[in-house]
Amino acid sequence: YGTKAVFGLSNFSCCLLNFLIPVCAYAGSNVLVANRVMQGLIVGMAWPSMHHLTAQWIPPNERSKFVSAYLGSSVGVAITYPLCGLILNHLPWEAVFYVTGSLGTLWFIIWWLLVYDSPSKHPRISEKELKYIQDSLGPALAKTKMAIPWKSIALSLPVY
């Protein structure tokens, strides 16, 4: 699966679980903790996929600038906390989770419509930009099929 699907659907899944937080809270602390653990596991799969997207799209000489865009998630958190305070001043506490879940869902729709796994799959990229990216990446895009060492992973103590 490509980054578009992994990162996008992981974040969307967390949005759906976010909508359920009030229900889980009323159901009991164990249900709420289970929901939050699921969110953490799902998001844990999302961020590593961004490195693949960076490798496909960003020329090596521009990666340090681009990676600073990852800070957008921190900016989002910085904006969300005061927003939640405003929501709590005017609406019941459950509304925080519905509003943030809705914003996340809106983000997912925009992501799904605008993001492509590689420049060659993007329908609106100019020929000039596509050539620049492909020339800059050069042999870095060469695909090598690697065998996944499932047995070694399964027997590795740090995994557990």
Q: What is the pTM of this model?
A: 0.79
**DSSP run (H or E) holding 154:** helix 150-155
> Which of 112, 117, 89, 97 lies closest to 1, judged by CA?
117
Dihedral angle of Cα 30, 34, 37, 41, to the nearest 10 degrees? 170
CA 99 vs CA 4, 106, 128: distances in Å: 24, 11, 41
CA dist 58 and 119 (Å) reads 10
Question: Tens of pLDDT along 104-143?
Answer: 999 999 999 999 999 999 999 999 999 999 999 876 555 5
What's the domain count of the chain?
1
Q: Compute and round to an integer the Cα radius of gyration of the chain.
A: 19
- Confirm whether 49 is domain-assigned: yes
Tell me whether residue 57 is in a domain.
Answer: yes
CA distance 160 to 5: 27
Residue 31 within any structural domain of the chain: yes
Domain that holds residue 86: 3-155
Predicted confidence (pLDDT) per residue in 4-47, tens digit: 999 999 999 999 999 999 999 999 999 999 999 999 999 888 88
User: Does residue 151 fall inside a structural domain?
Assistant: yes
Return the percent helix, strand and coil in the chain, to nearest 5: 80, 0, 20
Is residue 160 included in any domain, yes or no? Answer: no
Cβ atoms of residues 13 and 106 within 8 Å? no
Q: What confidence tens digit (pLDDT) does each residue in 81-96 have?
A: 999 999 999 999 999 9
Residue 10 falls within a domain, yes or no?
Answer: yes
